[in-house]
Structures are given as C-alpha cells and as structure tokens.
Amino acid sequence: MSLLIYAESAEGKFKKVAFELASYAKKVAESLGTTVTAVTVNASDVSELSKYGVDKVLKVTNDKLATFNAKAFADVIKQAAQKEGARVIVLSSTTDSIYLAPLVAVGLEAGYTSNVVGLPLSTSPFQVKRNAFSNKAFNITEISTDIKVLGLAKNSYGLVESSSTLSTEDFSPSLNDADFNVKVENVEKVTGKVTIADAEVVVSGGRGLKGPENWGLVEDLAAVLGAATACSKPVSDLGWRPHSEHVGQTGKPVATNLYIAIGISGAIQHIAGINSSKVKVVINSDPEAPFFKVADYGVVGDAFEIVPKLTQKLKEFKAQNS
C-alpha cells in the first residue's frame, strides 16, 4: 500500500505544483509508514520527481490524453490507486485537479476534502486543517472513509527536497469511449510569459490605471520581479485585459508568495480570491480603499509616480546584487 499523487505536467514537463505535491506526500507517507507513488500522463522525464521523495512512478503514455479530459484523467487516477492499493490520494488545487478530485473520490467511494493547508493533524482519526469561508477562516476536517482524497491548497507547503531511489513502470489503464464523451475543440494558451497558475509573484492592476494604454506600468514591474500580470474584474469587463488575467473569487484564485495590487480598491470578491497570498502589497491613492485593511504593506499615493520609481529601484538593486 502506498500513497498516490497525480503529478501534473504540460507539454511533457512537470508543473511546479507536482513537486510541491510530492514534497507534501513524502511527509504524509512517512507518518503513515508507507511510500509515495506518482501517476503521470504523457510526461517526458520523470526522474526529477525523485528529488522530492517519490519512490515509484506509474507512467501513462496515451495520445488520447494529449488534451485534458476530467473524466478520462480521473479514471486513470482511480485505476492507479486501485493497482497500488492506495488509501490516501493527494491532488493539487489547480483548475484541472479541482475538476478531477470529486470524480476520483466518487470512483473510489472515498471521502474528499479540498483546500488542505498543512500536514494531517492526526492520522487516527485522520484530521486535516483546511481553508474555509473564502480563506477567511480555517476548519478541522475528519475523514472517516477507508480511502481518502486530499486537495492540497496551492503554495501551502512549498518545495522540500528529499532524494529517493526511483522506480518506474509503464501503466496502461483501461479507457473506453464513455471516458471521452466531452470533446475539446480548441485550447488557447498564453505563451512567452509567466502564467498566473505557476507564478510565485503576481502584479495586478485595476481601474486606477485609467486605461489599457497605461498597462506598461504593470508589465514593467512584473518583468523585473519575474512575475505574472493580472487584473481586477472591472478591468477585464472593460476589455482592457483578457479575462484569463482576471483574479479573484469570480476569476482565478491565487495563493502567491507576493501579490502587488496597483489601483485596485479591493472589492470583497477580489480580496477573497487573493487572500491566501502570503504577502499583499497595495498601492492606491485612496487611503480609505478597503484593500488597505487586509494588506501587509500599503502605499498611499499616485501609482503613476510610485510604480516607475519602484521598478527603477528594483532594477538597480538587481544590478548591484547579480
């Protein structure tokens, strides 16, 4: 019996969340006295997983799985869990895995809890701490089913190297036509810049920037920090930025190490979607902006003066310390 994770990849390369998941699973497996098995789908090189404690990889190679399909991928994970006799399955909180987890749980008749933010508080009974109420509170959840599915909140554990001896096995799960009833017609991908899903730093802009012609302020600061760019809902609704950059409860939730909000007043839905970020910095000319109440650092002033100076100072700092 081993602990099973699904190590997500894109175009053959593992996403950062795969390594965070492996790091977390390794520690949980130690407390359970077992090993970590990862199931991968069309991943090119799986050896890097050994750096983070994975003991075994079930490699699935199937052209039908070139594009994400929740039902088919859930069936793969279900069959991998049954093959390994896994009683604990750990998934991430990416968009794909949020779709997958309930399907996996139903298929295995397992209990499922999402937004897990730490190692189990107890393994008998099995209890975990998780975010609740749009990240405004925590609760302790007990899973009493024999098989358990955990959804690990993004950036809640980090990367912890723990070298292991890795074994690999080709795995060919049985998939049928019913697994592919949903057909993907088109996939649009952002290229050439850091994506919100993988970013540790996000620089976000709101209506305070007054128009799309001023978005260079956000992009310049993001470039210096190696950050992803994002925006508030009104900005995407106005067409200044694509909806793929809209973060918040009604857009993409983020849990970055650093979130910088420029000209965003801080509607409750926006704050709920970014509240899991570890450090929040707000730049706004309105000292009464709601965002200041949840910010770790706040700057009251004109973004058109502050942001260029901040960008320049960061460039100078990097040049002196490179």
Q: How far apart are CA 232 and CA 289, in angstroms?
A: 14
Does residue 20 sit in the same domain as residue 92? yes
Q: Which of 91, 103, 102, 203 is nearest to 154 (CA)?
A: 91
SS3 293: helix
Does residue 152 sit in the same domain as residue 12? yes
Q: How far apart are CA 318 and CA 39, in angstroms?
A: 39
Q: Is residue 194 part of a domain?
A: no
226-249 burial: b if 16+ Cβ within 10 Å, else e: ebbbbbbbebbeeebbeeebbbbb
Does residue 71 sit in the same domain as residue 134? yes
Q: How far apart are CA 161 and CA 50, in angstroms?
A: 9
Say which residues have a Cβ less than 8 Å from residue 256's Cβ, sequence separation at least 6. 155, 199, 200, 201, 202, 274, 277, 278
Does residue 27 sit in the same domain as residue 167? yes
Does residue 205 sit in the same domain as residue 174? no
Q: How far apart are CA 257 and CA 88, in angstroms?
A: 28
Does residue 161 sit in the same domain as residue 123? yes
Q: Is residue 195 part of a domain?
A: no
Total count of domains within the chain:
2
CATH code for the domain in which residue 170 is found: 3.40.50.620
**Count of C-beta atoms within a 10 Å radius of residue 67:** 13
Q: Which of 157, 164, 158, 160 is nearest to 47 (CA)?
A: 164
Which letter does DSSP use for residue 101 in this model?
A: H
Range of the domain at 115: 3-180
Does residue 279 sit in the same domain as residue 239? yes
pLDDT of 156 = 87
Does residue 129 sit in the same domain as residue 250? no
- Taking the chain (322 residues) in runs of 10, the rounded mean pLDDT of each run is 92 92 96 96 94 96 92 96 97 91 97 94 95 84 97 89 92 89 74 74 95 95 94 94 89 90 94 90 95 95 96 93 79
**Count of C-beta atoms within a 10 Å radius of residue 309:** 10
pLDDT of 255 = 85
Burial class of residue 137 in the structure, from the number of CB atoms within 10 Å of its CB (0-12 exposed, 13-18 middle, 19+ buried): exposed
Last residue of a domain, one of 133, 148, 180: 180
Does residue 220 sit in the same domain as residue 285? yes
Does residue 137 sit in the same domain as residue 205? no
CATH code for the domain in which residue 282 is found: 3.40.50.1220
Q: Is residue 12 part of a domain?
A: yes
Q: Is residue 196 part of a domain?
A: no
Global pTM value: 0.81
Asked whether the beta carbons of 47 and 18 are under 8 A apart, the reply is no
What's the CA dihedral at 56, 60, 65, 69 to 10 degrees? -40
Distances (CA, A) of 136 to 188, 273, 276, 279: 33, 10, 9, 15
SS3 297: strand
Which letter does DSSP use for residue 9 in this model?
A: E
pLDDT of 311 = 96
Does residue 161 sit in the same domain as residue 288? no
Q: How far apart are CA 163 and CA 104, in angstroms?
A: 28
Q: Which of 295, 290, 293, 255 is nearest to 273 (CA)?
A: 255
pLDDT of 283 = 97
Q: Is residue 193 part of a domain?
A: no
Question: What single string gives the DSSP state of each residue in 155-216?
Answer: TSS---------EEEE------GGGG-S---------SS--TTT-SEEEEE-GGG-SGGGTH
Does residue 167 sit in the same domain as residue 211? no
Q: Is residue 191 part of a domain?
A: no
Q: Is residue 277 part of a domain?
A: yes
Q: Is residue 188 part of a domain?
A: no
Q: Which of 252, 265, 255, 257 is nearest to 298 (CA)?
A: 265
